[in-house]
Chains A and B, each alone.
Chain A
Amino acid sequence: MKIKKILIANRAEIAIRVISTCKEMGIKTVTIYSEADKNLPHVFLSDESYCLGDGTIAETYLNKEKILKIAKDSKSDAIHPGYGFLSENTSFSKAASDMGIIFIGPRPDSIELMGDKIGSKKFVETLGIPMIPGYHGDNQDKEFLKKKAVEIGFPVLIKASAGGGGKGMRIVHNESEFIENLDGAKSEALKSFGDDKVLIEKYLMNPRHIEVQMMSDNHGNHLHFFERECSIQRRYQKIVEETPSIALTAELQQKICEAAVTITKKMNYSGAGTMEFIFEDTKFYFLEMNTRLQVEHPISEMVTGADLVKLQILVACNEKINIKQSEIMQKGHAIEVRLYAEDPDNNFMPSIGKISHIGKTSLKNVRLDTGFTVGNDVTVNYDPMLAKLIVWAETRDEAINKMICSLDEITYSGLKNNRDYLKRILAHQSFKKGDTFTSFVKIHEESLRPLLKTDEDIALSLAVFSLLEHQKSSSKAEGKNQNTYSVWQEIGNFRNC
């Protein structure tokens, strides 16, 4: 194999994911870490690891020069960028190639083409792929854009061309509000991305987010690994993903997947990628392409049996993917939930703390992808994702039940998280029915609030508290741990019967 050592230019969960496949392939791994991350397991699970020093993300995980130097000094053959960070940074991938280090990802021209929302739409439109009615041309004159909006028909969405993550986006419901929203979107886009170019799209009221997993090699093989539905989102952040999508008939599934392959074929894509579509009323429209491996890739792996990271590495070695599209089958149903360090019942306020317990999954076909271990501190310095919990079952109903059970086993104790909120989503009637639209969490906000607890529940919690807190207090009394603060000092001593 051409690649014998890979430097993983990322952290936490995805770094560990890549290490896992490299171990199976007999490839050595190098990880990097900031001073703040020095106790995280991705530092210890690799063969070698190097500290990036104390500093901001820009000074550490986004520090191209430092990372390339470590790659060179450690004699790494390739760099796997993970997702986020430098995964779609063409100057980084070019600099690596210039140094003779393979960048495990698509070619820079593919990243550039799809990184521009306007440019990518123009390209895809030429292929006859359905597009959301809209305007994505160069004319940015305000009155002209307003005229276009009227033609498209309200409500419309104003989107920053260079944007992402919901910034520089405005929904406009009628003509009279158009100009002020246009000004707002442009100024936000300029501030966040340095480019105030916008496009206008018809705003779909109740769509689903459906994406297709792509994988291409350098020998003309452009494959897909079926679709994922990622409609449960909050503020454009995905929370629950599943495959297959309950909304697609076999025919629609084939149509969307083939449309996606038409695009990767035309751009002669290489590596892993995701084609995103927006879907409403049996119609699908191209949204954008992500030229990297995505967070939710595990569900595609669970239903097809593929190892997408392995395929990425093989492609990077210039090997041919020896699988025919007809040989890729989807079996059963997979669901992923993202555990976040935030409190959904308190306005999704981020939380910090030390993880005191994670738990173990006892059911079959349950996978926990996490970047943390017990004892790690969770801070606000990085992305708040604690873990991905993924389940596979033969049917969707079984997968839902399995996920709810597994969420009782994996607790991430020691800090507030969205575990119970995720259970409520999965147990919700509308989720069970498959009525999953991007408006889900908003529409069901009230019914997703925590259930009232019974007196029995509360008495049980107090029993546990009394017994476990009491244990701390009695060991203190015996002088075992002088520094343990005991609540009994405040509320009075216990009495034995």
Chain B
Amino acid sequence: MFGKRLGILGIVRDLKMRKILVDGKEFEFDFKKNENEIVISLNGKIFNFKNKGKLENTIILDVDGKNYTGQLSKFENGDNQIITNGKEFIISVPKSKKSGSDTQGGLISPMPGKIYKQLVNVGQQVKKGETLLILEAMKMEHAIKSPVDGTVKKVFFKVGDMVSGGVNLIEVE
């Protein structure tokens, strides 16, 4: 078995790298934990953190005696907001490319707002340039138009729903 001796954690199998997005950049990392410690492997380096425990929803980690507080919150669009000693990171899992979803036909909200009008249903035939829904944001109406001739595949929200910026509103294939 190949492996790396990781201090008190002993010999382990090859590390399996997971893909993760931090502040929009993709990284590969892996981690190992026990009750007192967590080890992160990132960019070919190994980082050891002692786990001092949890206070309410804040975790306390220790590096050579220095305290680091950590909190996790969720954004509306599902991204994870991590704050450590006041520094903020947005962590999310990279989405796998499914045919037709993020490429052609997946329409993203340009900014946060409210669904004001839903003009089409699933299964409906639409033409390129046809208005599919109207988003009310920043005191203005934004028409979300179909980029292609096709069929409405998925409708994610209904009239009155509040949406974040950058979320999928509707899919046309």
Nearest residue, chain B, Cβ from A345: B23
Residues of A within 8 A of B76 (CB): 352-354, 415
Chain B: minimal CB distance from A416 (Å): 7
A459 to B42, CA, bound (A): 7
* Inter-chain contact A463/B138, CB cutoff 8 Å: no
Contact of A252 with B by CB under 8 A? no
Looking at B80-88, B99-107, B116-124, the stretch in contact with chain A turns out to be B80-88
A354 to B74, CA, bound (A): 9
Residues of B within 8 A of A457 (CB): 84, 87, 89
Q: A460-B63, A494-B31 are in contact. List 19 more A-B contacts (CB 8 A).
A: A350-B138, A351-B164, A353-B75, A353-B76, A380-B137, A408-B85, A414-B73, A414-B74, A455-B43, A457-B89, A460-B61, A461-B70, A463-B31, A463-B49, A464-B61, A466-B31, A468-B72, A492-B16, A497-B9
**Chain A to chain B contacts (Cβ below 8 Å), 26 pairs:** A350-B138, A351-B164, A353-B76, A411-B71, A413-B83, A414-B74, A420-B88, A455-B43, A459-B47, A460-B47, A461-B82, A461-B84, A461-B87, A462-B20, A462-B27, A462-B31, A462-B40, A463-B40, A464-B71, A465-B80, A465-B82, A467-B38, A468-B57, A490-B93, A492-B18, A497-B12
Find A468's partner among B19, B42, B59, B165 (CB 8 Å cutoff).
B59
Find A470's partner among B33, B86, B88, B162 (CB 8 Å cutoff).
B33
A464 to B111, CA, bound (A): 29
Find B165's partner among A349, A469, A496 (CB 8 Å cutoff).
A349
Mark out the residues of chain A between 70 and 105 whose CB falls within 8 Å of any chain B CB in the assembled complex. none
A85 to B97, CA, bound (A): 47
Contact of B32 with A by CB under 8 A? yes
Contact of B10 with A by CB under 8 A? yes
Find A461's partner among B22, B32, B33, B111 (CB 8 Å cutoff).
B22
* Inter-chain contact A467/B51, CB cutoff 8 Å: yes
Find B33's partner among A414, A455, A485, A494 (CB 8 Å cutoff).
A494
Number of interface residues of A (CB under 8 A): 47
Contact of A190 with B by CB under 8 A? no
For chain B, what secondary structure do more than half of its interface residues adopt (helix, strand, loop), or is it mixed?
strand
A356 to B74, CA, bound (A): 8
Contact of A250 with B by CB under 8 A? no
Find B40's partner among A466, A470, A491 (CB 8 Å cutoff).
A466
Residues of B within 8 A of A494 (CB): 31, 33
Q: A350-B138, A491-B93 are in contact. Are A380 and B113 (CB under 8 A)?
A: yes
Nearest residue, chain B, Cβ from A381: B114
Mark out the residues of chain B between 139 and 171 whose CB falls within 8 Å of any chain A CB in the assembled complex. 162, 164-165
Find B70's partner among A354, A458, A468, A495 (CB 8 Å cutoff).
A468
* Inter-chain contact B88/A419, CB cutoff 8 Å: yes
Find B34's partner among A453, A455, A497 (CB 8 Å cutoff).
A497
A257 to B26, CA, bound (A): 55
